[in-house]
Structure 1
Amino acid sequence: MTLKGKTAIVTGSNSGIGLGVAHELARAGANVVINSFTDRDEDHALAAELAAEHGVDVRYIKADMSKGDECRALIEAAGACDILVNNAGIQFVAGIEEFPTEKWDAIIAINMSSAFHTTAAALPLMRAKGWGRVVNIASAHGLTASPYKSAYVAAKHGVVGLSKVTALECAGQGITCNAVCPGYVLTPLVESQIPDQMKTHNMDRETVIKEVMLERQPSRQFATTEQVGGTVTFLCSPAADQITGTTISVDGGWTAL
């Protein structure tokens, strides 16, 4: 499969899942726009590294996904958008009564509303070409719930619903929209949490991973950013032309329970 000549925009993609997705799309030949809310030399250097590694055009464009106008401006600044991957997200954990209002608002804005704004800006470009792919990175928490994650769970359920509506509005136009629902993925952020968990539970690395961090993931293995990126790339392939309005879980069996 090749995505040569396609332009992909991946939000929240200077690390973690988003960066993994950007790598896999670039590996398939797509030109890629990576994004975050910072504008550092290392952000632009990362784009240059991706371009050199995969032999495609890669640009970094700053946009704050908590602000609707910047979400839409990202699409405009890119100039083209054949593939849109809405990945940007943040997390905060607290009981509903103690959940800070500003944290709720930020999570809903970044994890859910940003996908609405970018999609609204991208669809006219896709319709003009008669082809497009919108892939929303939801979560196992878009299909099930955990306590103390009210904003995150609400936002990810919303992303799944938005994916279905987008698919229905674009049906028969060469544009698909789906949600990928990862379980626990081994990102640098998750990796950094392992030593603290080892100390807290007085366990070795493998035990804390399997018995604490991956308690709800039956495979007892992390998904990888490459696997999530590969799933996104598959959804952009001709084999997925009739896959739209659905969810694909990459969760080691979590949502089968």
Structure 2
Amino acid sequence: MNLKNKVCIITGAASGIGYGIAKRFVADGAKVVIADLKLDAAQKAADELTAQGPGEAMAVEMNVTDETQVNDGVAKVVETWGKIDVLVSNAGVQIVHPLENFPFDDWKKLLSIHLDGAFLTSKAILPHMYKAGSGSIIFMGSVHSKEASALKSAYVTAKHGLLGLARVISKEGAEHGVRANVICPGFVKTPLVEKQIPEQARDLGISEEDVVNKVMLGQTVDQEFTTIDDVAEVAHVFAAFPTNALTGQSLVVSHGWYMN
């Protein structure tokens, strides 16, 4: 299984998990699109990855909640590289509050980035995949696609929603050779997660050490964070898998925090 010369769009790929997936894909010879809200950061990441090779990368500015910007970005990719083989919808944010005082604007913002972003990017690339008769769409879910945690009503709702969207794409895309999957990581120690530690300590009234050891890692089998490389390897499997046998499936990558 390899991605040589496959054109892969990864949203939110200038840093964190998205960058790790992009690095893994480029190392396998893919042509990777670093689609990110910040064009300068996306260009820096694309330059770094192209220098590493053997694949290459290009930068595209993309606010995944803006339909025009998504469509324009996809059009630029097709104009440059002629096709789209893989979409990894990875862009996301985390906002935590108790439900009774969760600001509605924050609720809408989080759901828009996660769900509208997955919908709009999928909608934009599907005609190109249908025309080619193949394609892989991968959504970045979470253990919270399967489980719930206090303070994360919007995030849990969004991540559950991605499972449903992936399953619909799997049904609709089957006759066109397009498959869809969801990766469900546990806690990956990125800036997004590190930001949550003091926030949850404050809202739960516990120490930051307890947030890490009891809330984040308490249900794992080994008290270990999931790594970006762990997630990138799963993304590679889904993207490069040679048949549609896995379509509609999700895979939890969590050091045993959630098992099914």
**TM-score normalised by L of structure 2:** 0.89
Deviations 1:100-129 (A, max 9, x none): 111111111101111111101111111111
> Any conservation in 1 of the 2:179–2:248 contact (CA below 8 Å)?
yes
Pair 1:157 & 2:160 matched:
yes
Q: How does 1:42-61 map to 2 (within 5 A)?
A: 42-61=41-60
SS of 2:176 mapped into structure 1: coil
Shift of 1:187: 1.8
Which residue number in structure 1 is paired with residue 121 of structure 2? 118
Structure 2 letter corresponding to 1:47: A
2:234 and 2:208 map into 1 onto residues whose CA distance is 36
Aligned residues: 251
Residues 191, 164 of structure 1: CA spacing in aligned structure 2 closer, same or farther, 3 A cutoff?
same
| Structure 2, unpaired ranges of 5+ | none
Structure 2 letter corresponding to 1:138: G
Structure 2 letter corresponding to 1:139: S
Shift of 1:217: 2.7
Residues 192, 99 of structure 1: CA spacing in aligned structure 2 closer, same or farther, 3 A cutoff?
closer
| Structure 1, unpaired ranges of 5+ | none
1:192 and 1:215 map into 2 onto residues whose CA distance is 18
Deviations 1:191-233 (A, max 9, x none): 5667997xx7385xxx874345312333311111111111011
Which residue number in structure 2 is paired with residue 144 of structure 1? 147
Of residues 189, 201, 214, the one that matches 2:207 is 201
Deviations 1:154-198 (A, max 9, x none): 11111111000000111142211010100101224435667997x
Structure 2 letter corresponding to 1:87: N
Shift of 1:35: 1.8
Pair 1:76 & 2:82 matched:
no
Residues 51, 76 of structure 1: CA spacing in aligned structure 2 closer, same or farther, 3 A cutoff?
same
Shift of 1:240: 5.2
Which residue number in structure 1 is paired with residue 26 of structure 2? 26
1:115 and 1:62 map into 2 onto residues whose CA distance is 16
1:255 and 1:58 map into 2 onto residues whose CA distance is 34
Which residue number in structure 2 is paired with residue 62 of structure 1? 61
Shift of 1:89: 0.5
Q: How does 1:121-136 map to 2 (within 5 A)?
A: 121-136=124-139
Of residues 107, 122, 139, the one that matches 1:104 is 107
Residues 229, 36 of structure 1: CA spacing in aligned structure 2 closer, same or farther, 3 A cutoff?
same
Residues 192, 94 of structure 1: CA spacing in aligned structure 2 closer, same or farther, 3 A cutoff?
closer
Identity of aligned residues (%): 35
2:216 and 2:243 map into 1 onto residues whose CA distance is 32
Shift of 1:248: 0.6
Shift of 1:249: 0.6
Deviations 1:44-65 (A, max 9, x none): 1221110110222211111112
SS of 2:59 mapped into structure 1: strand
Shift of 1:239: 4.8
Which residue number in structure 2 is paired with residue 10 of structure 1? 10
